[in-house]
Amino acid sequence: MWLLTNKNQDVITFRPKSSVDNKVCAICGQYIKREEEYCIVVPPMKFRPLDKKLQLNFAVHKDCYREFIKGVKSDEDLAYKFANHKKPNKKQFTEEEKNRIKIFEEVCNEYGFYEVINKPYGLRMKKKGTSMTLDYYVYIDTVDFNKRYRPGLFDGFYERELVALVYTKLHNRIGDGKKDEFSADKVINEVFEKTENIMNGGKKRNG
């Protein structure tokens, strides 16, 4: 059975590095949370034309997957079961998640982001009169900065530092000790030092 091949049976613990890693379980319809176990389903090519759901690989919670395949007798049965499956609606945020989203909003206000835009993954805060936004992905606990203007030479470093400041202040108030210690000045200084070292032929300047 194609879902039970060794490749698909590998269980992964979800440890996302950024919001681009955000995943929704194709069976239960809920976001996969940090540290939850999931599998990547790789439908065989012969079943992909059957339905658009089977045209790409997709993620499923480990427990959802094990329950879903019970009683399935063949590859074809499994393909049709996935093709005909309708994901349930996403559940509401838990009280703990609501509290983290509320704290994120308060922290963003302190940095001039007041416009609230609710999102299924958490919350987006926008700075009025600009294209700048801060997003909180509550299920994977990551903060993202986005904008539509062309950045200056070092803007990316300071945008990344803003994310670090918001994330650290958020977790200070939650009280779990998590922090992001990124420093734009530190990184920029390191870049200049490496550049100067190269210009000096690999010799570090004395004193």
Residue 8 pLDDT greater than 90, yes or no: no
Beta strands 115-119 and 122-126: pairing type?
antiparallel
Percent of the chain with pLDDT over 90: 60
Q: What is the structure's pLDDT at 202?
A: 58
**171-205, pLDDT tens digit by residue?**
999 999 999 887 766 766 666 566 666 767 655 55
**What does the alpha-carbon distance between residue 124 and residue 115 come to, in Å, rounded to a whole number?**
8
**In the predicted model, what is the mean pLDDT of the chain?**
86
pTM of the model: 0.78
**70-125, pLDDT tens digit by residue?**
998 888 999 999 999 999 988 899 999 999 999 999 999 999 999 999 999 999 99
Spans of all domains in the chain: 2-84, 95-194
Residue 148 pLDDT greater than 60, yes or no: yes
